[in-house]
Amino acid sequence: MPLLKLEDTYLHKGKRRALVAELRAKGIKSERVLEAINTLPRHFFFDSALISHAYEDKAFPIGEGQTISQPYTVAFQTELLDIHPGDKVLEIGTGSGYQASILHLLGAEVYSIEYQKKLFEGTQRFLKRLGIETKLFYGDGTVGIPQFAPYDKIIVTAGAPVVPDALINQLKIGGILVIPVGDRKSQSMLKISKKSANEIIREEFQGFAFVPLLGKDGWK
Ligand code: SAH
C-alpha cells in the first residue's frame, strides 16, 4: 500500500468538514459522532483508485464483493448505539474497519467479526498499522462471539433476514442491538433495547440498503 494513501492533506480535511456538514443537514445530531467522523480520514480505508470519492455520502466497494457503508448510515447506526467510553461493543461485519475505528474513537472496547477471510486479514493488518486497537475475529457473526459476551452494544453492518437469537442473548440487560432487517435489497434499521432477560423494546427506521448478512442466521 503506497504511503501516499496515509497522507491527510488540507484538501481531505476540508472535504471531511463538508461531509460532516452534510450529515448534520441530513439529521445526525450527536456532536460526538460527528466529531469522530471529522477526525477519522475515511480515504485511508479506500482503494487507491477510489480515493477521490472518499468524502461522498455513498457506499463504495472494498473488495470481495463488499462495501464500506455510506457515511450517513455509519453515523445513524452509531448514534442509535449511544456509545459511552468503556462500552464493550460487538460489530458483525468488520469490512474495511471504518465503523470499528469510529467506535474505537468514541472510547468503546471493540470486538468485530468478519466472514470473508481476505478482508479479515487485510483489515487486521491495516488497523494495526494505523495504531487502532480492536479485537478482530474471522468467522460467522450471526452466532455472536459467546466467549466474550455479554456486550453493552451490538451493531450488525450487513442486511439480515431475521434478528439472530444469539445476538439478543449476548446483549447485557440495558444493552442496545442495532441491526438492519429486511429482504436482500432493502432493510429497516431496528434498534432493540433489552429491558430484562425476556423483555425487549423495538424501534424501526426505514430506508437502508446493505450487502447481505451470510452465515447460519443469514441469507443462504
Ligand atoms: N462495517 C463495515 C461494512 C462492511 S459491509 C465497514 O465499516 O467497512 C458488511 C460486511 O459484513 C462485509 O464485509 C461482509 O463480508 C460481512 N459479513 C456478511 N455476513 C457476515 C457474517 N455472518 N459474519 C460476519 N461478517 C459478515
For 38-92, the three-class secondary structure string (H helix, E strand, C coil) is: HHCCHHHHCCHHHHHHCCCCCCEEEECCEEECCHHHHHHHHHHHCCCCCCEEEEE
State the burial class of residue 22 (Cβ atoms within 10 Å of its Cβ: 0-12, 13-18, 19+). Answer: middle
Q: Which residues of 98-111 are buried (b: 16+ CB within 10 A; e: fewer)?
A: bbbbbbbbbebbbb
* pLDDT for position 3: 52
Fold for 64-208, please state it: Rossmann fold (3.40.50)
Q: Rounded distance, CA 30 to CA 35, Å? A: 9
Place of cell 425487549: 200
Whether 164 shows a pLDDT value over 70: the answer reads: yes
Whether 1 shows a pLDDT value over 60: the answer reads: no
- Within a 10 A sphere around the Cβ of 85, how many other Cβ atoms? 9
| Degrees to nearest 5, angle at CA 167 with 163 and 170 | 155
Residues in CB range of 125: below 8 A, 6 or more apart: none
Whether 187 shows a pLDDT value over 50: the answer reads: yes
Inter-residue contact 217 to 164 (CB < 8 Å): yes
CA of 115 to the centre of ligand 1 (A): 7
Q: Residues enclosing ligand 1, CB less than 6 A?
A: 66-69, 92-93, 95-96, 98-99, 113-116, 119, 140-142, 157-158, 211, 213-215, 218
Average pLDDT over residues 3-9: 78
Q: Rounded distance, CA 172 to CA 150, Å? A: 5
Cα atoms found within 13 Å of the Cα of residue 5, Cβ hemisphere only = 16
CA of 6 to the centre of ligand 1 (A): 23
Q: What is the pLDDT of residues 48-94, one digit of tens each?
A: 899 999 999 999 999 999 999 999 999 999 999 999 999 999 999 99
Q: What is the pLDDT of residues 115-125, one digit of tens each?
A: 999 999 999 99
Percentage of the residues of the chain whose pLDDT score is greater than 70 = 98
* pLDDT for position 4: 54
Whether 142 shows a pLDDT value over 90: the answer reads: yes
**How would residue 15 be classed by pLDDT, with cut points 50, 70 and 90?**
very high
Residues with a known catalytic role: 69
Residue ranges of domains in the chain: 64-208
Strand order in the sheet with 151-156: 135-138, 109-114, 88-92, 151-156, 171-182, 187-196, 199-208
Q: Rounded distance, CA 180 to CA 173, Å? A: 21
* pLDDT for position 45: 97
Whether 190 shows a pLDDT value over 90: the answer reads: yes
What does the mean pLDDT of the chain come to? 96
Q: Are strands 88-92 and 109-114 parallel, antiparallel or unpaired?
A: parallel
| C-alpha distances in Å from residue 202, one per residue of 53, 73, 116, 168, 177 | 35, 19, 30, 12, 10
* pLDDT for position 2: 47
Average pLDDT over residues 122-138: 97
Average pLDDT over residues 121-149: 97
CA of 5 to the centre of ligand 1 (A): 23
* pLDDT for position 6: 87
Q: Rounded distance, CA 166 to CA 33, Å? A: 28
